[in-house]
Structure formats: C-alpha cells, structure tokens
Amino acid sequence: MTDAPPRVGVITFPGSLDDRDALRAVETMGGEGVGLWHADHDLRGVDAVVLPGGFSYGDYLRCGAIAGHAPILDDVKAFARGGGPVLGICNGFQILCEAGLLPGALIRNASLRFVCRDVFLRVETSQTPVTSELVPGEVVEIPVKHGEGQYVATPEQVRMIEGEGLVVFRYANSRGEVGGAANPNGSLADIAGVRNGAGNVVGLMPHPEHAVDPDVGPTGGQPLFASLLATALERAGATA
Amino acid sequence: MSADEEPLHRKLGLADDEYERIRATLGRDPRPAELAMYGAMWSEHCSYKSSKIHLKTLPTEGSAVLVGPGQDAGAVDVGEGLAAVFKMESHSHPSAIEPYQGAATGVGGIVRDIVSMGARPVALLDPLMFGPLTEPRNRWLLEGVVAGIGGYGNCIGVPTVGGEIRFADPHSANPTVDVMCVGLAEADALVTSTSLTPHAGSFMVLYGAATGRDGIGGVSVLASATLDGSSEGSRPSVQIGDPFAEKLLIEASLELIERGLLEGLQDLGGAGIACAVSESAARAGMGARLDLDAVPLRERDMEAFEILTSESQERMLAIVHPSKLEDVRAVCDRWGLQIAVVAELVEGGDLTVTHAGRLVAEVPAVSLVDEGPVYDRPCEAPRAAPGDDDDPTFQPYEGDLLESLRSVIGAPNVASKRWIWQQYDSLVQGQTLAGAGSDAAIVRIPGSMRALALSTDGAGRYGSLDPYLGAVHAVAEAARNVAVTGARPLAITNCLNFGNPERPIVMWQFAESIRGLRDACLALDTPVTGGNVSFYNESGGSAIWPTPVVGMLGLLDDHRLRVPAGFPRAGLAVYLLGETFPELGGSEFAEAVLGVVAGRPPAVDLERERALIGVLVEAAAADLLASAHDCADGGLAVALVESAIGGGHGFAVTVQTDLPAHVALFSESASRVVAGVALEHEQAFTELAGARGVPVSRLGETGGPRIVVDAMLETTVAELRAVHESAIPRLLSEAI
C-alpha cells in the first residue's frame, strides 16, 4: 500500500466541454486526474473513469450515439465488466445509455429549451460508487445544464429500474419532495440518474463537477466525488 | 445587356467614384473577381469608411493597454503575466433575417477573433435590443436569437455570463444583436501582426470547414445597406454555423500557437478568404499567390468570386513555414480538421489569384486593406432639441406610488431576464463567480485570486433624446456596474449601432456619440481597445435609436472581496451614495408609467462619477461593503427593490427629500449607488466617502420580509419578486 491518491480518468471526445472541469473537480477533492483520449485503446491504468459533459461529435445523429462507438468505449466496457467504477455526467450519461451500459435514454427537455440552473437531488441508494458516502433520502444541490435531459424508458425498463432499485437520484425540492417544478426537464418519475444492475456504472444529467467549489456555486457535488475517490482508492488497494 | 441593367460594381455595393478609384489603382478596368474583392473589402463593414475619421478621436492608450484598435481584438494587462483579450461585434443584419443562424454565427465570429489573438475564450456576453414583445414578430426574433446564442454558445465550452436585453419600438424592424467575447492569454504569447515574423515562401494554410456558397455578400449586401421589403431574399447571404467545428477549431488553434508552429493566424469572417489573405499579406508587408483550386469546397462549380468572398463559418488561415507544415497537419488531423495550403507569401506587394488554372486577379494587397475610400459625411443636428417643455420631470403626478413601482419593476427593460439567461450555459470552465443578473459578471482567472468583472451597457433611450449624453451614460454605467463589485474599470470595447450614415442626422448622432465616448473614456481613464461599427440599421427611413454599446472590462485583485448586488443579511445600514436631482427625462418611469420617451436625459458629471468609482473600489478593498448596486433604470426605488430581491432581505427606509415623492423614487440621476453596510463599518465608510467628496445618506436598515419606504409605499419582497420574475415569461406566453 502507498499513500498515492486514486487515479481518475476523464475521457475527452471531440466536442467534450466539461472535461477540464471534471479533471479539476477530481484534483480539488484530492484525487489525481488523468486525461484520456477517445481514439486511444488505453485507460492508462486508472481506478475510475468519468465520461464528461459536452456535445461529443457535435451531437450528430443523436446525443452520445457516435461516442458510444468510439474506440475507447471498448475499454470502458471491459473496465465496467470487471467492476470498475464508471461515472457518466450529462453527455457522458447519454453516451453510457447509447453504449448499452445503462438502461433508458435521454430526449429533449419537455420545455424544448436548454436549461441551466441549480437543482436539488434526492439520493435513492448508497449502493453506487458516487453515493457510498451518502444515505438514501439525503438531498444535494447541483446545477443542470442541458437541452436533452428528459429521461425516458420503456415500461419493461421502468419496472426493472424501479424493481431493482436502479434509480440513484431524483429531482426534488430542498426538502426532498419530488414532483412539480423541481423537475427541470420532464424526466420520467423525476429520474436524474441511474445505475446498472451491478451498481458500478452510474449516469446522471446534473453536473457534480460544477458543484465542488464554494466560490462558484453550491457544493452538492463534493460527496459524489468523495464517494468516487473512496471507491477508486479501495479498488486501487485491491488491485495493487 | 440591356441599357438599364445595373453595372457589376454597383451590384457589389461599390459607388461609381469608388469604381473609378479602383481603375486608377490598377491602371485598367478591373476583372470581375477583383471587383468582388474590392466590393467586400471596401464595404462599410470592412473598411469603416464613414466612421474612421471619427473613431480616430477616441482615446486608445493607457497603462493597462497591451493591444489597441486595429488587431482582431484589444488586450489589457491583468497582472501575473496575463492578458485579457476582448472585443464586441454586431450580427444584427443577419439576425433580422434569420434570427437563429444570425445570432449563432455572431457568437462563432467573435470567438474566432479572440482565438486568433492566441487567447482561450473564457466568457461571452450578449447585449440585445428588440422591439416590444407585444408584437408576434418581435417574440419570434427574441426566441430565435436566444436559441441561436444558446445553440452555438452552449456547444463550444465558453460560458455566457452576461449582457443585457432591452426593448424599444425603433428596434422592431432592426433588432440589435451584439456579442462580446473575452479571452485570456500569456501576455508575451499574444499573436498580433508584429508578434510573429512571417517569411516570404511561407504557406497560407486554410483549416477548418470547407467553403460553400453561404454568406456570399454578407458584408456588402447585408451589413452595409438598409434592409427593405425584399430582405427575405437575402436569406442565402446569412451564414450557417456549426459549433462542433468551432470547438475543434478553438482547440486546434490554441495547440498550434502553444507549440510555436505558426508565423501568423487570422480568422475568416467578413469578406472570407479575400479579406484573410489580403490582410495577412499586407500586415506582413508582402504579397501572396492564392490558388483557389486548392480551397476545399462544399459545392461544385463555385465561381472565383464566390470562393473569394464566401463567409462560410469555422475557418482559420494560418501562416506556416514550410518546415512546420507536417506538424501543423498532424495537429489538425488529431482534431479531425481539414487542412489545405491555399497560398504562399511572396516578396513585393501583389496579391495574385488563380482559378481553374487562369489568373483571375492581380491587385496590390495593401490597396484592398488600407487604401479604401474614407468619407467625411455631412452631419446635421435635428432642428428641435428635446427641451424642457415636454420634460416629464415637471409634470404633476397623482398616481399611486406602489402601483407605479409595480409597473416599473415589471417593465420589460427592468424585469428579470431569467427566462433568457437560463437558456445559456454560464458554468462551463468553472470560473463564473457571478453571472447574468448581476451588475457585472465576475469570471475568476484560473489558478489566481484575481477575477475579471465584465459589463455591457447601452443607453439607447437617452441616446434617442441626446446622443452625446447617451454615450456618456453608457460608459459611466458600465464603469459603475464593474466598480460596484469592487473591481477597477480598466478599458472598453464597443459596438456602435446606428442607422444609415448617408443621412446627415444619423451621421450627427454618430459624431455626437463618439464625442460622448471620448469624453467619458478620458475622464474615467478607460481607453478604447477596439470595437465594431454597425450602420444601416434602419428600414423605410426609420432608424434604430443611436446605441453605442460599451463592453467594460475591470479587474478584481482578490475575488474573495467581491461585493454582491443583493442585501446579504438583515441588520445592515442602507446607504445612498451620490445625489438625487429632479431628472425623469428619458426615464423608465416616464416610459412605463407615463407612456412617453421625452425630456432631457439626466446630466452626468464625470468628475463625480470618477470619485464614486474610487470610493467603491477602495471600500470594497477594505471590506466595508456588504452589498452595492447601481442606481440606473427606475432610479432609487428599483435599486432598493432589486437589492432586496437579490439578497432575499427586505428593508425599511426613509427618503428625506424636497422633491415630489415620485421624482425622488424614480429619478435616474447618474453616479448613484445603493450600498448595504455592516453597522461596525458605518463610520469608516462614511469617512471614506466624505474624504472623496461623494455625498452619502443613510436611508435605513435591512431586514424582514417587507419593503417599507416611510410615508411613500409599503409591500413585501415576495410580491415584487413575483412581478419582477413573471413579466417576461408572461409577455412571451402571449404568443401561444
């Protein structure tokens, strides 16, 4: 064992916008940020992978559709199959859905407009790499900024998602009550983020990387990154 | 050819005497491709031929200025070896015809200006003016422009942090769509015409998007003539934007500069390849050999003049030494960008252009760039100046003050623009300490305690009554907006929006506005580092209000000492800095409550303004201010209410005055600020203001959910917040 900080990779696709912000959030929270490139088959031995926000490949075809076939996604899938923690933020969430790593899809906001504002999220489960240091029912404040963040799924998927407890976050008010204006995009069942069956892959539309620096805004992203770094550290220890 | 058919040069926007000037330069009749180049380069938009003699009078030098006018953007020293690069431009003409693409490509163009200086864009601001939202077409224009700004700006990783949105009848046919971009660079790595040394034999490399038929005649047809009933037919002259290509262009360009692979860099904007190649060559003191067959095209069978003047977006032109070409190619490949060697720098000053193997143009490069016509167009003041007769200040008013306040707070110019700025990504890059809705946006310099304070201000309503005062107010208010945050105003850029300069009254408005900018910038020590002129904003002989928009850049030495606009807590003393005079001329109260735009706009004493700014900056540095908010539209009443809404705390104040209550509350006297001061700092604060000769009066204290102006009006923060927030969405939903 060493005291080396956990290494968290952030993938840059052409059109990624919040990649530097995700790297900075990792560093701010005490991890080592490692830049990864979409065209490489190389995760550089990181302990966790983040797919950042943005408009990969210009959102051509569909959001995340082309990135879902990027060379590095093969490596991300293998990493996920091995239990590695993977976090998709905004466009990264869209990519994970397109790549089949998460259930459901993201379509245009019900308002048909881009929305950038702070929202409250109610934590639904601790059984993920980004909520291990939170408890269900806890509320965190984090901004959203997206035009296509309305979560949708087929009725069978919904039964599976709800039945197996795959919802990680729901849009809520500051008291944790869901419904109404708290939902910024019309997402099904107020779903803001989901996980896979194994629990190691998580995607969410809000931007925790923009909620770690108290000078800039709310700090609800801190416990998510703290959880991710703790998970990554454990994994580093286990594989060392 | 029929006898009455218009000669080619006129179709290209060239006057007959301009045509003769070209013949004299060349010593022969110009070829069609040559005429197309002159038509674009000598257009009002590119050559500043009507504005040049006036712009020369503006102050451009100061201790902080690193790069003044004449480059792609201005630059100022912001300490720690860094330069802030900034510029504003208009895209009003295309936006009037196709609002989404017009606004989107405006964003793209200004961002490339900043990138071509070697700076990473860190902030965008969008000052906009539309006609009243009660008209369906104005709602369509607003929604389209906002969607275009967001659709482009949100996809390139540059936060949109501010700007302003105002409404006035004269902007119905011609909306004003300006956009400002700010970037950061190492000061010693700025790319200017003198910072790098191009060599004869070096390549001119075009990279980015392919060239198509979009935007042909953009500068000469759209931006340099008035729009008329047949303007819909100009839609093909509007360029189409692709923000994904822009994002790749930003990253590739900054990498090329950082690795020292370039001898020059220029963005392609107005007048396309013709402009970029001739300017690059002329700046290098050389000529160029341009081969149009080497230009990657989006469409087949394009004519030489189309390739030369196409304004297809997302293209850059780099000057590259042959030894660096392969490295440049590798960077562009990595970012998936097309690259082509289209020209070569040559000794001598001639620009030769070949197409399909034939020579189509051979002109001195410098004649396109620097030898265009310069006009001293006649100015004529209007016969009747706005006098005291119709000044609303002196009309008796018996209306209910609270009802008046509701009208002003809910007036479109004053009401919350949240509906608009929530559609912009203001967070990307993670440095936005204060965004739209603040007096000035605050953007931290990464890794530093320093931060930029940015504000854009126009005062079209004042300008319509007195263009000199309108310009002075624009500068003074922009400086005040920056200073209330605690930042020192450093320098301005501008975008000067006017009607047809061939009309003497418009030219007079322009000359008066320049005089105002000059006086204010000299007095406040904020030199002009660049800008843009947008003429011909009129239809059917009716021009927009003369609207010089000022983009002010200020610097905060320690962002932790920044001052918010809203009252942050209860128990603060509420102060008014400055003095209130009977000045309702051109005020928001006059327009929103009395329904008139008339009278004499408030006077501005620039020495008082300078003293006020000094107090604000010093008080913030000494941590004496809990809040500070500019008094502008709607006067003291609106400044107090906005401070309460912003911070979520009410107040109880007494306004001691000899003026009628409505004048005291709504007068728009300049050089005033509402400040919240902790009780333990009151003495130091009032002593500081007194030492600087700035009048200061204690109005009351903050606290509770209520808004109380003793003997004048009483209500709650929640009630006025609802009015403030709901006005714009309500106006827009009338469209459904």
Phi, psi of A156 (to 5 degrees): -65, -40
Q: Which residue of B has its CA nearest to A60?
A: B244
How far away is chain A from the Cα of B157, in angstroms, using its nearest Cα?
Answer: 5
Which of A103, A100, A137, A96 minimizes the C-alpha distance to A120?
A137
Which residue among A15, A59, A213 places its CB closest to the CB of B430?
A213
Q: How confident is the model at residue B6 (pLDDT cuts 50, 70, 90)?
A: confident
Whether residue A58 and residue B444 make contact (CB cut-off 8 A), yes or no, is no
Does the pLDDT value for residue B241 go beyond 90? no
E strand or H helix at B432: strand B432-434
pLDDT at residue B736 is higher than 60: no
C-alpha distance from residue B196 to each of A190, B261, B529 (Å):
55, 11, 21
Residue B620 has pLDDT above 60, yes or no: yes
Residue B75 tokens read as 């630059």
Tens digits of per-residue pLDDT, B683-722? 999 999 999 999 999 999 999 999 999 999 999 999 999 9
Q: Given the DSSP bridges, would you call strands B706-709 and B651-653 parallel, antiparallel or unpaired?
A: parallel
Chain position carrying tokens 């059109």: A15
pLDDT in tens, A218-231: 999 999 999 999 99
Mutate to test the interface with B, among A13, A16, A17 (most CBs of B within 10 A): A17
pLDDT value, residue B456:
98
| CB-CB under 8 Å, B428 with A114 | no
Asked whether the predicted pLDDT for residue B235 surpasses 60, the reply is no
Q: Which domains does chain B have, with CATH numbers?
A: 8-42+196-368 (3.90.650.10), 64-190+448-562 (3.30.1330.10), 399-429+563-736 (3.90.650.10)
Report how far apart, in Å, the C-alpha atoms of B645 and of each of A131, B409, B635, B719 are. 35, 11, 16, 10
Is B384's pLDDT higher than 80? no
- The pLDDT score that the predictor gives to residue B200 is 96
- In this complex, the residue of B242, B335, B427 whose CB is nearest that of residue A210 is B427
Would the CB atoms of A54 and B242 count as touching at under 8 Å?
no
Nearest to A116 among B156, B157, B427 (CB): B427
Q: What is the mean pLDDT of residues B53-58?
A: 96
Residue B236, pLDDT score: 58
Q: Using CA of residue B508, residue B509, residue B511, residue B515, what is the dihedral sign? A: positive
Chain B residue with minimum CA distance to A55: B155
Active site residues of A: 90, 207, 209
Contacts of A113 in chain B (CB under 8 A): 147, 423
Q: How far apart are alpha carbons B131 and B168 in whole angstroms?
A: 5
- SS3 assignment, position A123: strand
pLDDT tens across B573-612, in order? 999 999 999 999 999 999 999 999 999 999 999 999 999 9
**Distance, CA of B656 to CA of B711 (rounded, Å):** 11
Q: Which of B124, B428, B444, B725 best probes binding to A when mutated, by most A CB atoms within 10 angstroms?
A: B428
Q: What is the pLDDT confidence band of residue B3, given thresholds at 50, 70 and 90? A: very low
Average pLDDT for A172-192: 96
pLDDT tens, residue by residue, B725-735: 999 999 998 54
For the A7-239 domain, the top CATH level (class) is alpha beta
Q: Extract the tokens encoding A53.
A: 């926000």
Chain A residues in contact with B121 by the CB 8 A cut-off are none
- For the residues B425-432, what does the mean pLDDT come to? 97
Tokens of A79: 């990493």
Nearest alpha carbon to residue B626 among B578, B688, B561: B561
- Alpha helix locations (H) across B429-555? 460-465, 467-483, 504-524
Cβ proximity of B183 and B159 under 8 Å: no
- How close is the nearest chain A Cα to the Cα of B105, in Å? 16
CA distance B436 to A186: 25
List, in sequence order, every residue forming a beta bridge with B531; answer none if it has no partner: B494
Kindly indicate the confidence band of residue A1, based on its pLDDT and cuts at 50, 70 and 90: very low
Contact call for residues B630 and B576 (beta carbons, < 8 A): no
Judged by average pLDDT, the poorest of B43-57, B380-394, B457-471, B555-569 is B380-394
B275-284: pLDDT as tens digits: 999 999 999 9
pLDDT of residue A64: 80
Asked if the model's pLDDT at residue A2 lies above 90, the reply is no
Cβ pair A15:B427 closer than 8 A: no
Give dist(CA A60, CA A94) in Å, integer: 13
Whether B388 shows a pLDDT value over 70: the answer reads: no
pLDDT at B670: 98
Q: Given the structure tokens 């196709």, which residue do they identify?
A: B98
Band (A236; pLDDT cuts 50, 70, 90): confident
Give me the residue label for tokens 């912003």.
Answer: B646
Mean predicted confidence (pLDDT) in B191-212: 92
B86, B493 Cβ separation under 8 angstroms: yes
Structure confidence at residue A65 (pLDDT):
81
B280 neighbors B290 (Cβ within 8 angstroms): no
Tell me how far apart the alpha carbons of residues B106 and B122 are, in angstroms, rounded to a whole number: 16
User: Residue B422: which of A20, A116, A210 has the nearest Cβ?
Assistant: A116
Neighbours of B609 (CB within 10 A): 25
Active site residues of B: 45, 91
Distances (CA, A) of B710 to A224, B555, B661, B707: 49, 38, 11, 10
CA dihedral B127, B133, B139, B142 (to 10 degrees): 0
User: Based on the number of CB atoms within 10 Å of its own CB, is A214 exposed (0-12), middle (13-18) or buried (19 or more)?
Assistant: exposed
pLDDT score, position B222: 62
Position B133, amino acid = L
Q: Do B432 and A216 touch (CB under 8 A)?
A: yes
A18 at the B interface (CB within 8 A)?
yes
Give B 430-489 residues with CB within 8 A of chain A: 430-433, 444
Strands B488-497 and B573-577 come out as unpaired
Which chain B residues are within 8 Å of A18, Cβ to Cβ? 157, 428
B150 and chain A: CB distance < 8 Å anywhere?
yes
> Given CB atoms, is A117 within the 8 Å cutoff of chain B?
yes
B155 touches chain A (CB under 8 A): yes
In the structure, what pLDDT confidence band is assigned to residue B540 with cuts at 50, 70 and 90? confident
B197 vs B187: CA distance, rounded Å: 17
Q: How far apart are CA A13 and CA A64, in angstroms?
A: 10
Give me the residues paired with residue A89 across strands: A204
| Chain segment A124-145, per-residue pLDDT in tens | 999 999 999 999 999 999 999 9
How confident is the model over A61-82, as a mean pLDDT?
Answer: 89
Chain B environment of A21 (Cβ under 8 Å): 428-430
- Judged by a CB distance cut-off of 8 A, whether residue B247 touches chain A is yes
With cut-offs at 50, 70 and 90, classify the pLDDT of residue B386: low
A175 touching B (Cβ < 8 Å): no
Neighbours of B253 (CB within 10 A): 27
Q: Closest residue of A to B337, CA-based?
A: A14
Q: How far is A38 from chain B (nearest CA, A)?
A: 11
Nearest Cα of chain B lies from the Cα of A111 at a distance, in angstroms, of: 11
Closest by CA to B191, choosing from B268, B259, B263, is B263
- Subunit contact A209:B430, Cβ cutoff 8 A: yes
Backbone angles phi, psi at B66, to 5 degrees: -100, -40
Subunit contact B244:A55, Cβ cutoff 8 A: yes
Q: What is the mean pLDDT of chain B?
A: 94
Each residue of B637-666: pLDDT tens digit? 999 999 999 999 999 999 999 999 999 999
- A17-52 as b/e, with b when 16 or more CB fall inside 10 Å? bbbbbbbbbbebbebbbbebebeeeebeebbbbbbb
Instruction: Nearest chain A residue to B562 by CA: give it.
Output: A215
pLDDT of the residue at B355: 97
| Residues in chain A closer than 8 A to B433 (CB atoms) | 215-216
The alpha carbon of residue B298 is apart from the nearest alpha carbon of chain A, in Å, by 18
Q: Is B156 on the interface with A (CB under 8 A)?
A: yes
Q: Are the beta carbons of B244 and A59 separated by less than 8 Å? A: yes
**Phi first, then psi: what are they for B318, rounded to 5°?**
-110, 145
Measured in degrees and rounded to the nearest 5, phi and psi for residue B427 equal -105, -25
Over the stretch B12-44, which tens digit does the pLDDT of each residue have? 889 999 999 999 999 999 999 999 999 999 999
